[in-house]
Chain A
């Protein structure tokens, strides 16, 4: 039987779907019995979604760089 510590160690693999069958079954069996770990997995999923939606910092030099590259291109 997996412990909660084992489950946390396997959580990324579980979320990314690359655990071997017996590991995946072990995680599922643990989750069926452990509310703390179910919550942890939900919160890990939420963390990933937050990161995906976190706005990119602005690139202040964008226009100058675009101008320089377009200029380089036209000179070729």
Chain B
């Protein structure tokens, strides 16, 4: 993991309350970090075992609270524990194939979009809803996006979540998930094109 970000002051404050066994502090911790932890577990062991790995990781976190040193951020520490828990689980069972590029509900930006000379055959159209706020005000679209993300392979959806939503650096993601940078970029690009296709479909038809 990168060494640069050290524990923030809020980490230190939260840590003190965690060590005191304050339930509210654990609620805060779980609410803040559980989805990133689940994404890491998801990518490594697959959907079937991810929840169990996250549970085990939480227990390991509690066991190791006293050993945590603010050399890394709390987030980095939690995700490293999760990745390690997931990887030791993998050694007990064969890894499921996770690299598939699965079909998404609205496809991607496929070859048919282009003419033989490589120019757009069906160019992108005008989008009426052109801010995140306007798009996310549409309940149907929110559900639709959840479906698209759920349709991605485990590794693709995890990479998308960790990079775009959790703001992890590519290097951190590669270290946690044991994938190469070029692999990460392919996964991310494919996932983004599928999200794009869902938005485009919604802009054109007004439905999922």
Contact = CB atoms under 8 A, between A and B. Distances in A.
Interface residues on A, range: 35 or more
B124 A39 contact: yes
A65 B35 CA distance: 14
A21 interface: no
Interface residues of B, number: 53
Contacts of A46: 127, 130-132, 135, 199
A31 interface: no
A52 B199 contact: no
Given A4-B120, A53-B132, A47 B109 contact: no
A36 interface: yes
A66 B118 contact: no
A67 to B, nearest CB: 6
Nearest to B197: A47
Contact of A73 (B65, B120, B185): B65
Contacts of B192: 12, 44, 47-48
B205 interface: no
B200 A43 contact: yes
Interface of A: 3-6, 8-9, 11-13, 16, 18, 36-37, 39-40, 43-44, 46-57, 59, 62-63, 65-67, 69-74, 76
22 contacts: A3-B114, A4-B114, A8-B193, A12-B185, A13-B185, A43-B127, A46-B130, A46-B199, A47-B192, A51-B195, A54-B136, A54-B165, A59-B30, A65-B26, A66-B26, A67-B23, A67-B26, A69-B26, A69-B30, A70-B21, A73-B26, A76-B62
Interface of B: 18-19, 21-27, 29-31, 34-35, 58-59, 61-63, 65, 109, 111, 114, 117-120, 123-124, 126-127, 130-133, 135-136, 142, 145-146, 160, 164-165, 170, 185, 188-189, 192-193, 195-196, 199-200
